[in-house]
Structure 1
Amino acid sequence: MTKTLATFLCVFLFAQAVRAQDANYWSSSYNPAGFLTPGAVIAFNRDSGVMFLNPALLAYNTKNTASINASIYQYGSINIKNGAGSGLDLKSTSASIIPQMISATLSLKGKHPFTIGYALTNNPVMSFRANQQRDATINVLDDSYSPGNEYFLGQYKNVNTINETAGIISGGFKASDHFAIGISAEGQIRKQDYDYDVSSRALYNTNSALLPQFSNVQESYTAGYYHVGIRFKGGIAYDNEKHHLGLTLSSPLLHIAGSGNLLSDNEISNLIMPHEADTVNLLTNSRQRNLKVNYKMPVSVALGYAFDYKGGQLYIVTEYFAKVGEYDILTPKNQSFIKGVDIGDDLLTPEFLKFKDARKAVTNFGIGASYLLKPDLMGYLSLHTDFNSISPSLYNINDDGYRSNTANYNIYHCQIGANFKKRKFNLRTGLLLSYGTTNKYLQTVNFDNPSEANYLSGNPGYTKASQFSVGLMLSYIHNL
């Protein structure tokens, strides 16, 4: 009995398994290629009074204190073409005002000058909300017991929201006339809420009852957690007239605290499988709280180079992120899962309900340029990649559990804007444009061809997915 149930659950839940800028490292404008964003560089770009990604660059800050307040007014859209079947697109749009960063620097004078910087940053990593339905009369069930077409109702819902807030403290000083050294510590709070629901129903076509029987397959999985971690970064910078180099090494994210919850409910009723005499009826359910959480970020190395030319600067940068093997963000407890059958509390629970992640190694590239349009007006333009880190080959062959990601496409970013400079302040504004697409987005369900053999969820295939976003950045830098 146990073996039969285990085999059945494997087939059912693997068929329903979730294949879902939750998997892109440079989606935030505050990344090493965010040339328009104040301080988002690895090599010295002659900005003053800003909080740099490379802590060594703080050594070049000659201002006593400065503060930054950056906000982004952003519109974004994600469209998974035919995501739940032909004509059943999965669309998600969002409009938001994002307080991006508040920071300050303090320059300590003396025999060995030293500059300290601190910042609070906010990064809304992912906001995906989509639902779809197919309501049709088609041939779903076998004609041996339900001849002709049946009334079919399929519904799909997926929500995935991720937000990260970080506090950063950095210090940098000059080791010599041309070299500077710095170190920073970043404490991060990451919150994710994930909700996945699919239901498929087909009414028996028997004409023998006022209220006919129907086959029903439902799957529901909700996970939510927060994770607190810290990572460290060391940086060096070289500055020699027109040439500027920068290098940073970031540690993995170290776990400090975290807690998560999950809720799962799966039901199969009155489903007659091919070549089987009896109907299948199954109920699995679990609610678990205060689960252990572990979220990982890999080691990364970034290298940047800036060259001064008459009237502006050219900047190039690259960053390498190491591979992250499969691991569980949420690990369920051994609690009752299959209802109505006395086969032990721990059968399959951790395997089927875990919330997991895995990432391949990624290298991103960026290029930027600035040009002095007027004595007090500097123009900026930058382009950078944002390659996706999802790779199905990283997961175990037994594809159990739920993947935490939604996006699986590369994204390309463009920033264009200007900085208006006065003695006491800088006002910087610009457009942030992003676009990503893939023709290899794997559906979770496909309501085109539901049948008993695929548990009324159809046979998923590959389709097209795309993402577009536009944002207006406003940044005010005040030198006190």
Structure 2
Amino acid sequence: MKFNQSFNGIILMSICFVLNVKAQDTNYWTQQYGSNSVLMSGAVVGGSDDNTMLYYNPGALGFLDNSSISVNATAYRAENITISNAIGQKASFNSRQLGSVPLLAGGMIRVKNNNWKVGYGFMAPTSFNFKGVARKEGFFDIIDESESTGLEETVAESAISDRLNEILIAFGAARRLNENWSVGLTNLFTVRSQSYSRSLSTYVFMNDTERTLVAANLNENVDYYNVRYSAKLGVSYQKERWKAGLTFTTPAINIMGIGSVAANIQANNFKLIDDNRISAVATGRQSELKTTFKSPLSVSAGLNYFGDKSHIGISCQYYGSTDQYDIMDIASNTFVRPANTAPELGTDDFMRVRAAAKSVFNVAIGYEYLLKESLSLFLSARNDMSYFDKSLNDDRGIKTTISSWDIYHISSGITIKKNQSNLSLGLLFSTGNTDDYEQKGSLNNPNENDLIKGTTTITKASYGSLGLLLGYTLYFKKF
């Protein structure tokens, strides 16, 4: 029994209808950590006077002269993501979110040897929530004229919900070698969790006597968590007004993780085999699956200069690429029923949850001006290139990311300095867009062969965020 292109359309659409879901979930530098470090856009790899060096450059921890530093910073953000024409003209995805992100909570641990510094921190590298619904109704020429004359009434709706969070737990130590050099190592444990769901319904009413309904329904669900480990080695050099730093971060080592995947697709009265209309279901669910999530090798470098009233810093970071891999290993089981409809199609092909990353290079520059001894003004900017790998668009599988565009961040604010504390207030602005967003599922010019798969189109996507930074740093006893 030969399987024609219509059912392939159903399956492919079930995997990638509407858009190949991606947002700032494919950017490494969306978040920065700590009060001054956020206001400097992360241009502090050369060195800073607080324990954010635990993340940016553990080597610089050795130059801190405080026995204990407590840093807390939170960003309150309003975010907007728009995918234009998600399933056709004027049927777009719009997701607006308002919330807070705890950027850093951490401190230092006092040790007897003053040449050693030990610190800890809790950070949120990723906190992403996307919800979008797109609907299109109208009359289209979909069914062949021999079966249905004229335009067919069509209704299509798609909904996507994605919640992605990462918590980074860091423990690090540094040793000051002499007055100019210090080296350090931070252990980075990242806990990643994601809950993703997508639903799709498409209904076409034929213009025959029975008003035959041609319909398809899709539901996809992915839930998993993963724990991974990386080590960051840093070296710091400081002399007079200059500070310089270099770090290497290892690729991630997976520790543990569990996940589940489910996909259910129903086709009603489609031309699946030869020219006969039949109905079929593709369904599968697998749980208690081991998970893998990869982070690449990265290298960062930075230089900071401190004048009488001005401080300028520049940092850059390179992230290596990651080839395609499966977040969960899917067993090969029957997917399509009746089983003889398409025995060659299995769950291991269509329920794969895939990921990949291309290499990126980011640069940050920050400026601080001392208005008076107790008040500093900051202005900074950074690029945040997307690591989205377009090869994910070419294969079957479930892709649980949303963005593929680059983001640009601008930060500005003030720090008020007291005897043993700093209070920081800032505004955070981020923007990103692309006119080259590849999506599958447009119903602008539908026909029965691509009714479920949809036409691949190039459309626009945009991201915007406006945030408020509130940070507090408390300095305890000096050594």
Given the two structures, how large is their TM-score scaled by the length of structure 2? Answer: 0.92
**2:47 is matched with which residue?**
44
Among 136, 139, 142, the residue aligned to 2:141: 139
Quote how far apart the aligned CAs of 1:285 are.
0.5
Contact 2:79 2:466 in 1 (8 A): yes
- Bigger drift between 322-331 and 118-127 goes to 118-127
Residues matched between the structures, number: 471
Quote how far apart the aligned CAs of 1:449 are.
2.1
Please say if 1:232 is aligned against 2:225. Answer: no
SS of 1:443's equivalent in the other structure is: strand
Residues 363-394 of structure 1: per-residue CA shift (max 9 Å, x gap): 1111111110111011111110100111324x
Please say if 1:425 is aligned against 2:425. Answer: no
Q: How does 1:145-184 map to 2 (within 5 A)?
A: 145-184=147-186
Contact 2:252 2:295 in 1 (8 A): yes
Among 348, 351, 376, the residue aligned to 1:350: 348
Residues 27-46 of structure 1: per-residue CA shift (max 9 Å, x gap): 11239995527987211134
Change in 2 beyond 3 A, CA 1:266/1:378: same
Quote how far apart the aligned CAs of 1:288 are.
1.1
Quote how far apart the aligned CAs of 1:244 are.
1.0
Please say if 1:320 is aligned against 2:351. Answer: no
Residues 307-363 of structure 1: per-residue CA shift (max 9 Å, x gap): 122302110111000010000012222233222225898852111110001111111
Higher relative contact order (CA 8 A, sep 6+): 2
Residues 381-434 of structure 1: per-residue CA shift (max 9 Å, x gap): 1110100111324x596x111223210000001111111111121111101111
Change in 2 beyond 3 A, CA 1:362/1:38: closer
Question: How far apart, CA to CA, are the structure 2 residues paired with 1:475 and 1:37?
Answer: 13
Change in 2 beyond 3 A, CA 1:433/1:180: same
**2:197 is matched with which residue?**
195
Among 105, 108, 120, the residue aligned to 1:105: 108
SS of 1:202's equivalent in the other structure is: strand
- Bigger drift between 283-292 and 338-347 goes to 338-347
Question: How far apart, CA to CA, are the structure 2 residues paired with 1:184 and 1:52?
Answer: 7
SS of 2:61's equivalent in the other structure is: helix
Change in 2 beyond 3 A, CA 1:34/1:465: farther
Quote how far apart the aligned CAs of 1:5 are.
4.5
Kindly report the root-mean-square deviation, in angstroms, between the aligned alpha carbons of the 2 structures. 2.4
Question: How far apart, CA to CA, are the structure 1 residues paired with 2:342 and 2:206?
Answer: 34
SS of 1:464's equivalent in the other structure is: strand
SS of 1:84's equivalent in the other structure is: coil
Contact 2:35 2:473 in 1 (8 A): no
Question: How far apart, CA to CA, are the structure 2 residues paired with 1:159 and 1:415?
Answer: 29
Question: How far apart, CA to CA, are the structure 2 residues paired with 1:73 and 1:396?
Answer: 33
Determine what percentage of the aligned residue pairs are the same residue.
26
Residues 76-126 of structure 1: per-residue CA shift (max 9 Å, x gap): 00011112210111100100022221101124343x521111011124432
Query: Residue type of the partner of 1:165?
Result: I
Query: Residue type of the partner of 1:218?
Result: N
Query: Residue type of the partner of 2:354?
Result: K
Contact 2:198 2:221 in 1 (8 A): yes
Contact 1:202 1:214 in 2 (8 A): yes
Q: How does 1:30-41 map to 2 (within 5 A)?
A: 30=33, 34-36=37-39, 41=44
Quote how far apart the aligned CAs of 1:458 are.
3.4
SS of 1:105's equivalent in the other structure is: strand
Question: How far apart, CA to CA, are the structure 1 residues paired with 2:50 and 2:190?
Answer: 26
Quote how far apart the aligned CAs of 1:52 are.
4.8
Question: How far apart, CA to CA, are the structure 1 residues paired with 2:54 and 2:231?
Answer: 16
Change in 2 beyond 3 A, CA 1:91/1:344: closer
Change in 2 beyond 3 A, CA 1:31/1:463: farther
Change in 2 beyond 3 A, CA 1:84/1:306: same
Among 336, 339, 348, the residue aligned to 2:337: 339
- Bigger drift between 289-298 and 215-224 goes to 215-224
Question: How far apart, CA to CA, are the structure 2 residues paired with 1:190 and 1:301?
Answer: 22
**2:382 is matched with which residue?**
384
**2:28 is matched with which residue?**
25
Quote how far apart the aligned CAs of 1:269 are.
1.4
Contact 1:157 1:198 in 2 (8 A): yes
Question: How far apart, CA to CA, are the structure 2 residues paired with 1:135 and 1:64?
Answer: 65
**Which stretches in structure 1 are left out of the alignment for 5+ residues?**
none
**Which stretches in structure 2 are left out of the alignment for 5+ residues?**
none
**2:449 is matched with which residue?**
453
SS of 2:331's equivalent in the other structure is: coil
Query: Residue type of the partner of 2:261?
Result: L
Quote how far apart the aligned CAs of 1:151 are.
1.4
Given the two structures, how large is their TM-score scaled by the length of structure 1? Answer: 0.92
Question: How far apart, CA to CA, are the structure 2 residues paired with 1:32 and 1:245?
Answer: 20
Question: How far apart, CA to CA, are the structure 2 residues paired with 1:342 and 1:258?
Answer: 35
Residues 6-44 of structure 1: per-residue CA shift (max 9 Å, x gap): 976544433554323111111112399955279872111
**2:251 is matched with which residue?**
252
Please say if 1:479 is aligned against 2:471. Answer: no
Query: Residue type of the partner of 1:172?
Result: A
SS of 2:339's equivalent in the other structure is: coil
**1:290 is matched with which residue?**
288
**1:61 is matched with which residue?**
64
Contact 2:50 2:69 in 1 (8 A): no
Quote how far apart the aligned CAs of 1:457 are.
4.9
Query: Residue type of the partner of 2:276?
Result: D
